[in-house]
Structure 1
Amino acid sequence: MRIVAGIDEVGMGPLAGPVVAAAVVLGPRHGLSGLKDSKQLTERARERLAGEIRARAQAWALGQACAAEVDRLNVLQAAWLAMRRAVDNLALTLDLALVDGVHVPVLPCPARAIVRGDARVPAISAASIVAKVARDAEMRDWDAVYPEYGFARHKGYGTAHHLEALARLGSCPLHRMSFAPVRDARRRS
């Protein structure tokens, strides 16, 4: 039986925090229902499904690229780096990786890109959910370190509250300095 993983990333758009990717291998009888693109689920549904996925998947792993890597590489290359790290962290050797998107990153196994794969392929949907839940949890943890930015609330996205905090406080080490709103806030401070 071929070992196929779904791979997806989250966190390309935020002004702060890592890009997180997940690789998930679902067995043919995984028994999971309600899998879909993580953006189409409530936070509560994502949390519930992520627990079920982690318990029932044949294998799953996370990888990430930090804000400094986003700045150094660019956000797309950082996302691909996070995907490679997720595959490298899997306990299984893959025969194929199905990646959400248009482009195929360089991975240590054959890979195929699937447009809107997070809505069409259960293993990619599962990866989307696991990655989103993990990144959100990490941003809540960072909120305890940098409470003035409100990371628990907006997860690093460029909300009005976050932009106001940037304008008032400048950036912190979690911010992506190559992103215009962060760069502009640095110039003003």
Structure 2
Amino acid sequence: MRRPRPSLERERALWAEGGEVVAGVDEAGRGPLAGPVVAAAVVFPAYCKVIRGLRDSKLLTPRVRLRLAGLVRQRALAVGVGAASVREIDRLNIRRATILAMRRALGRLAVRPEHVLVDGLPCPELGWTHDAIVDGDAHCHCIAAASVIAKTVRDRLMQRLAAHHPAYAWASNKGYGTAYHLAALAEHGMTAHHRRSFAPVVQLELAVRGGMWW
């Protein structure tokens, strides 16, 4: 079954109501065992055209994502990026840390949005009036654009961290709990960039404390 292509239907409806500044917001990195969670907010000019090929970032190859990220930055009225650190994830939990990253992304836009469209479920803590759209990155153009920006920014961050911690293969797995990453955790232990509140990392820490790891 073919997935729907993101459209400007939501944005056009809001533009027609007189709201010219519509921001799409999405995140990357909720699920990994290591690294920050990153969010992006993207505002396109009112009545812009669709960027051909733009999709949910998870459906795109790295090369295509980078090309589309460049197009988004060229055509957007404003782009904001925010992140929440591993410490913030462990202190707040991943949901609240993700919302914090989204708030930071919105706060870094060069224009103030009149409407915000967010991927997923409603976020009362966001601090902005918004519409939440389940699978928004598959249906909504500005959310898909935000997903591409967030993903490419986070991938670059993980590649930089990988240069300092090559044993975990973060350049390829981006911190997700692949078999290789879990094996590296077992062999080398955790780093300061691992999320100690996530189950596989917690289990490792408990095993080490209990003297069960060798």
Q: How far off its partner does 1:116 sit?
A: 1.0
Unaligned segments of structure 2, at least 5 residues: 1-18, 209-214
* CA deviation string 1:112-136 (max 9, x = no partner): 1011110000000000000000000
Distance 1:33 1:17 in 2: 31
Partner SS, residue 125 of structure 2? coil
**1:150 has 2:169 as partner:** yes
Distance 1:143 1:39 in 2: 21
% identical equivalent positions = 51
* CA deviation string 1:25-49 (max 9, x = no partner): 0122245111111111111111110
Q: Under a length normalisation based on structure 1, what TM-score does the superposition of the two structures give? A: 0.96
Tell me the amino acid that sits aligned with residue 88 of structure 2: E
Distance 1:69 1:30 in 2: 38
**1:16 has 2:34 as partner:** yes
Distance 2:177 2:76 in 1: 33
Compare CA radii of gyration and give the structure with the larger one: 2
> Which piece of structure 1 moves more, 107-116 or 21-30?
107-116
The list of structure 1 runs, each at least 4 consecutive aligned residues, that deviate by more than 6 angstroms after superposition, is none
Distance 2:186 2:205 in 1: 8
Distance 2:109 2:124 in 1: 17
* CA deviation string 1:42-101 (max 9, x = no partner): 111111100110111000010000111111111111110000000011111110110000
Structure 1 residue corresponding to 2:129, chosen from 97, 110, 121: 110
Distance 2:162 2:134 in 1: 33
**1:133 has 2:156 as partner:** no
Change (3 A) 1:155 1:138: same
Is the Cα–Cα contact under 8 Å of residues 9 and 79 in structure 1 kept in the other structure? yes
Give 2:141's aligned residue.
122
**1:77 has 2:96 as partner:** yes
**1:26 has 2:26 as partner:** no
Q: How far off its partner does 1:104 sit?
A: 2.4
Give the superposed CA RMSD.
Answer: 1.2
Is the Cα–Cα contact under 8 Å of residues 149 and 165 in structure 1 kept in the other structure? yes
Structure 1 residue corresponding to 2:71, chosen from 38, 52, 57: 52
Q: Under a length normalisation based on structure 2, what TM-score does the superposition of the two structures give? A: 0.85
How many residue pairs align between the two structures? 189
Unaligned segments of structure 1, at least 5 residues: none
